[in-house]
A and B are shown apart, each in its own frame.
Chain A
Amino acid sequence: MSDGAPTPPAMPALSVSGLVKRYGERTVVDSLDLDAAQGAVTAVLGPNGAGKTTTLEICEGLRNADLGSIRVLGQSPRDPTLRARVGVMLQEGGVYGSVSAVEALTHAAALYESPQGVSDLVDALGLAEVATVPSRRLSGGQRQRLGVALAIVGRPELVFLDEPTAGLDPQSRRAVWELIASLRDAGVAVVLTTHYLEEAEHLADHVVIMDHGRTLASGHPHDLVSSVASRTLRFTAESGLHLQGLEKRLPHGSTAVEVSPGTYLVTSPDLSEAMGHVSAWCIDLGINPTGISSEQRTLEDVFLDLTGDDLRP
């Protein structure tokens, strides 16, 4: 935390509970809970259609919730005073095609009392070479970075970034990561959605995994990995085993699936008991399982287990 940064208040920067959003018959967000702290990066992870963008748009005051309580910096999301205090990067840039990065940033900067310097922002996000090019001629990645710059030009207390690094080359992604880390260090609350698990793992203080509009798990990436790992074990054996027999033996609430040919995943509330049953079952069937382990190495494994879904960019 730098000197002079405001002391983070006890209340979370963003607090969402029981959020419900329906489009006609379709429930897009279903009793979602989400908290984001000051001076922390909160990453919302989920497959396409999980409801991430809708959730963010409700918090940004762009859409109304059907049910639930949302407090943004202690206010209701549509409170007009939030418009200066909250920075927003939408998935679609929102910059007129004939307007350049410098013009868009100059316009945005003039809306705030003590904005960032436009040229500083242009440099920080590596847009110097294309600063005067009409935005319609920018690459997808350059447009993304302009979106990030527009979100922070007003020195906000809370920033919503909807897929800030989608389509960025590794160097640009690094630059955006550094910027997000410096926002956190300065006491800004950052809420972002991402398709990159690596990004969530490296950058986030708090990860929320959601699918079908619900929170499936949340916590520090490290805790999340170890807590889910403690309930899951993996083993390899010949493919195509019939698992009904195994599931009958396992403690109540356990599941067994063949996640890829010859790789089996067992989830159980009591892992040590499950481990014993798996071994006994294998002996009974005369199979020799290898690599029985309760270790999961990455957030990606957790994510796949929870959503059963690949992250599709």
Chain B
Amino acid sequence: MGIVKASDVVYEYIRRDEEGNVEGITTAIDRVNFDIAPGEFVAIVGHNGSGKSTLAKHINAILNPTEGTVWVDGMDTGDEGSLWDIRQTAGMVFQNPDNQIIGQVVEEDVGFGPENLGIPTKEIWERVEESLRAVGMYEYRKHSPNRLSGGQKQRVSIAGVLAMHPRCIVLDEPTAMLDPSGRREVIRAVRGLNQVEGMTVILITHYMEEIIHADRVFVMDQGKIAMEGTPREIFSQVERLKELRLDVPQATLLAHELKKRGVVLPDGILTGQELADALVGKKRGQG
């Protein structure tokens, strides 16, 4: 069993009217199964309302499944007794950077998690330093979070989770409120964690460019995992992605359109560079 495992997970939102009577039931997650290995970089994509954020909240035991079970490092998230161990094992970064920074100084915010865990003072300082260095925010440790850019704030949030020494980090649309340069900053930091520190990363996003570097991609639709595979396998099915109302990176789309017009190209081109190489290679081959 991997670090995070879900089996037959169902989650239902019960809608109530003003008197508290049940009006209807919305199934946000519908029989989801997955098994994530330690050190893996998994991306979960889907359009709004596909259930991807709800799924993320299950990994941190913020929500409990209506049916089925989620295991984090062998612990059942439905078990009250291991709640805090689960939250320490699977750290979570949320969408809005302003609403998850508690400290008035960067270093104090990063220290918040370890303080809650009852770590001795000396070790808190070590953890804060190492976490801030891992996301490249060490120079800003004395700054007020209010004066940082969105990307910087989000990196501080990631450091705040890292300082708790989780084995797995879940990022719930961490880039949704950022500008393109902030998005790049955050994604670079996340990739660094995965590759350098070997951290298990579960990235929830709706920006398709961000999933290119993932080991595995889950595409969610109406609470179900509609597609699963490597980014290359996913992006080779452009028509299916369009059906699921998802964007495709420009290079992939261009390659797809060229292929439709009869240009022979390999499947699943992800970046502009790859497309350029493939086209140049063809020309050389002809000439």
Chains A and B belong together in one complex: no
Which chain B residues have a beta carbon within 8 Å of chain A's beta carbons?
Answer: none
User: Residues of A with Cβ closer than 8 Å to B?
Assistant: none
